[in-house]
Structure 1
Protein backbone atom coordinates (compact mmCIF):
# COMPACT_ATOMS: atom_id res chain seq x y z
CA UNK A 1 0.00 0.00 0.00
CA UNK A 2 1.19 3.52 -0.77
CA UNK A 3 2.23 5.59 2.22
CA UNK A 4 0.51 8.92 2.70
CA UNK A 5 2.69 11.93 3.45
CA UNK A 6 0.69 12.67 6.58
CA UNK A 7 1.14 9.65 8.84
CA UNK A 8 -0.73 11.00 11.85
CA UNK A 9 -1.85 14.23 13.34
CA UNK A 10 -2.17 15.64 16.81
CA UNK A 11 -5.33 17.18 18.16
CA UNK A 12 -3.97 20.42 19.58
CA UNK A 13 -5.48 23.59 20.94
CA UNK A 14 -7.59 24.94 18.10
CA UNK A 15 -6.97 28.26 16.39
CA UNK A 16 -9.83 29.74 14.43
CA UNK A 17 -9.09 30.38 10.78
CA UNK A 18 -11.50 31.37 8.06
CA UNK A 19 -10.71 29.77 4.74
CA UNK A 20 -12.60 29.14 1.52
CA UNK A 21 -11.77 25.94 -0.30
CA UNK A 22 -12.84 25.02 -3.80
CA UNK A 23 -15.38 22.19 -3.63
CA UNK A 24 -12.97 19.82 -5.38
CA UNK A 25 -10.26 20.47 -2.78
CA UNK A 26 -12.73 19.88 0.04
CA UNK A 27 -13.86 16.59 -1.52
CA UNK A 28 -10.24 15.47 -1.84
CA UNK A 29 -9.57 16.48 1.76
CA UNK A 30 -12.51 14.35 2.93
CA UNK A 31 -11.26 11.37 0.91
CA UNK A 32 -7.74 11.89 2.28
CA UNK A 33 -9.12 11.87 5.84
CA UNK A 34 -10.99 8.64 5.15
CA UNK A 35 -7.85 6.97 3.78
CA UNK A 36 -5.75 8.24 6.68
CA UNK A 37 -8.31 6.91 9.16
CA UNK A 38 -8.08 3.47 7.56
CA UNK A 39 -4.27 3.46 7.60
CA UNK A 40 -3.92 4.77 11.15
CA UNK A 41 -6.95 2.93 12.49
CA UNK A 42 -7.90 6.22 14.13
CA UNK A 43 -10.95 8.20 13.08
CA UNK A 44 -10.43 11.67 11.66
CA UNK A 45 -13.38 13.54 13.08
CA UNK A 46 -12.77 16.77 11.20
CA UNK A 47 -10.95 16.58 7.84
CA UNK A 48 -10.24 20.32 8.03
CA UNK A 49 -7.82 19.62 10.90
CA UNK A 50 -5.56 17.95 8.34
CA UNK A 51 -4.86 21.29 6.68
CA UNK A 52 -2.26 22.29 9.28
CA UNK A 53 -0.15 19.12 9.10
CA UNK A 54 -0.43 19.21 5.31
CA UNK A 55 0.80 22.79 5.17
CA UNK A 56 3.53 22.04 7.68
CA UNK A 57 4.70 19.07 5.65
CA UNK A 58 4.60 21.09 2.46
CA UNK A 59 6.71 23.89 3.95
CA UNK A 60 9.12 21.43 5.58
CA UNK A 61 9.82 19.74 2.23
CA UNK A 62 9.92 22.85 0.03
CA UNK A 63 13.64 23.35 -0.61
CA UNK A 64 13.24 26.82 -2.13
CA UNK A 65 11.26 27.96 0.91
CA UNK A 66 13.89 26.55 3.30
CA UNK A 67 16.69 28.29 1.42
CA UNK A 68 14.90 31.64 1.31
CA UNK A 69 13.91 31.30 4.95
CA UNK A 70 17.55 30.75 5.98
CA UNK A 71 18.62 33.74 3.88
CA UNK A 72 15.89 35.89 5.40
CA UNK A 73 16.89 34.88 8.94
CA UNK A 74 20.52 35.82 8.27
CA UNK A 75 19.39 39.17 6.86
CA UNK A 76 17.18 39.88 9.88
CA UNK A 77 20.08 39.11 12.28
CA UNK A 78 22.28 41.65 10.47
CA UNK A 79 19.59 44.34 10.76
CA UNK A 80 19.32 43.96 14.54
Structure 2
Protein backbone atom coordinates (compact mmCIF):
# COMPACT_ATOMS: atom_id res chain seq x y z
CA UNK A 1 0.00 0.00 0.00
CA UNK A 2 1.36 3.41 -0.97
CA UNK A 3 1.38 6.28 1.48
CA UNK A 4 -0.22 8.48 -1.21
CA UNK A 5 -3.81 7.44 -1.84
CA UNK A 6 -5.44 7.36 -5.25
CA UNK A 7 -5.88 10.85 -6.65
CA UNK A 8 -9.46 12.11 -6.94
CA UNK A 9 -11.16 12.66 -10.29
CA UNK A 10 -9.75 15.89 -11.72
CA UNK A 11 -11.74 15.93 -14.94
CA UNK A 12 -13.07 19.46 -15.49
CA UNK A 13 -16.84 19.84 -15.39
CA UNK A 14 -18.43 22.41 -17.68
CA UNK A 15 -21.18 24.50 -16.09
CA UNK A 16 -23.17 26.97 -18.16
CA UNK A 17 -24.83 29.85 -16.31
CA UNK A 18 -26.95 32.82 -17.22
CA UNK A 19 -26.29 36.07 -15.36
CA UNK A 20 -28.09 39.40 -15.19
CA UNK A 21 -26.79 42.32 -17.25
CA UNK A 22 -25.72 44.05 -14.01
CA UNK A 23 -23.67 41.06 -12.90
CA UNK A 24 -22.14 40.72 -16.38
CA UNK A 25 -21.01 44.37 -16.18
CA UNK A 26 -19.62 43.83 -12.68
CA UNK A 27 -17.69 40.76 -13.81
CA UNK A 28 -16.25 42.69 -16.76
CA UNK A 29 -15.29 45.53 -14.41
CA UNK A 30 -13.64 43.03 -12.07
CA UNK A 31 -11.66 41.58 -15.00
CA UNK A 32 -10.48 45.12 -15.79
CA UNK A 33 -9.52 45.73 -12.15
CA UNK A 34 -7.61 42.44 -12.22
CA UNK A 35 -5.77 43.55 -15.39
CA UNK A 36 -4.84 46.87 -13.79
CA UNK A 37 -3.69 45.20 -10.55
CA UNK A 38 -1.62 42.43 -12.13
CA UNK A 39 -0.79 43.73 -15.61
CA UNK A 40 -2.31 40.69 -17.25
CA UNK A 41 -5.71 40.45 -18.91
CA UNK A 42 -7.81 37.40 -18.04
CA UNK A 43 -11.17 36.39 -19.48
CA UNK A 44 -14.13 36.61 -17.13
CA UNK A 45 -14.71 32.86 -17.64
CA UNK A 46 -11.17 32.20 -16.36
CA UNK A 47 -11.68 34.37 -13.28
CA UNK A 48 -15.02 32.87 -12.20
CA UNK A 49 -13.75 29.44 -10.98
CA UNK A 50 -11.19 30.91 -8.53
CA UNK A 51 -13.75 33.53 -7.46
CA UNK A 52 -16.26 30.78 -6.65
CA UNK A 53 -13.60 28.70 -4.89
CA UNK A 54 -12.62 31.70 -2.74
CA UNK A 55 -16.27 32.40 -1.94
CA UNK A 56 -16.93 28.80 -0.89
CA UNK A 57 -13.73 28.66 1.17
CA UNK A 58 -14.79 31.79 3.07
CA UNK A 59 -18.40 30.71 3.75
CA UNK A 60 -18.39 29.55 7.38
CA UNK A 61 -21.97 28.28 7.26
CA UNK A 62 -21.16 26.08 4.28
CA UNK A 63 -17.99 24.77 5.96
CA UNK A 64 -19.94 23.94 9.12
CA UNK A 65 -22.68 22.16 7.16
CA UNK A 66 -20.05 20.04 5.40
CA UNK A 67 -18.23 19.33 8.67
CA UNK A 68 -21.51 18.31 10.35
CA UNK A 69 -22.29 15.95 7.45
CA UNK A 70 -25.36 17.92 6.39
CA UNK A 71 -23.88 18.32 2.90
CA UNK A 72 -21.93 15.56 1.18
CA UNK A 73 -20.21 15.59 -2.21
CA UNK A 74 -22.24 12.56 -3.30
CA UNK A 75 -25.52 14.43 -2.74
CA UNK A 76 -24.60 17.15 -5.23
CA UNK A 77 -22.46 15.19 -7.67
CA UNK A 78 -22.75 16.43 -11.26
CA UNK A 79 -25.34 14.61 -13.38
CA UNK A 80 -22.76 13.43 -15.91
CA UNK A 81 -21.10 11.28 -13.26
CA UNK A 82 -24.38 9.60 -12.41
CA UNK A 83 -24.70 8.57 -16.03
CA UNK A 84 -27.54 10.95 -16.90
CA UNK A 85 -27.22 13.14 -19.92
CA UNK A 86 -28.72 16.63 -19.92
CA UNK A 87 -30.55 17.77 -23.02
CA UNK A 88 -30.15 21.48 -22.27
CA UNK A 89 -27.59 23.39 -20.22
CA UNK A 90 -28.50 24.19 -16.62
CA UNK A 91 -29.15 27.82 -15.82
CA UNK A 92 -28.16 29.06 -12.41
CA UNK A 93 -29.75 32.41 -11.55
CA UNK A 94 -27.14 34.83 -10.24
CA UNK A 95 -28.38 38.28 -9.34
CA UNK A 96 -31.21 40.17 -10.95
CA UNK A 97 -34.88 39.66 -10.23
CA UNK A 98 -35.82 36.96 -7.76
CA UNK A 99 -32.32 36.56 -6.38
CA UNK A 100 -31.90 36.67 -2.63
Q: TM class by shorter-chain length?
A: 0.5 to 0.7
Conserved 8 A contact 1:59-1:65 = yes
Higher relative contact order (CA 8 A, sep 6+): 2
For normalisation by structure 1, the TM-score amounts to 0.66
Task: Pick the structure with greater CA Rg.
Answer: 2
For normalisation by structure 2, the TM-score amounts to 0.54
Runs of 4+ in 1 over 3 A off after TM superposition: none
Conserved 8 A contact 1:37-1:43 = yes
Unmatched runs of 5 consecutive residues or more in structure 2: 1-10, 73-100
**Number of residue-to-residue matches in the alignment:** 61
Higher helix share: 1
Unmatched runs of 5 consecutive residues or more in structure 1: 1-12, 76-80
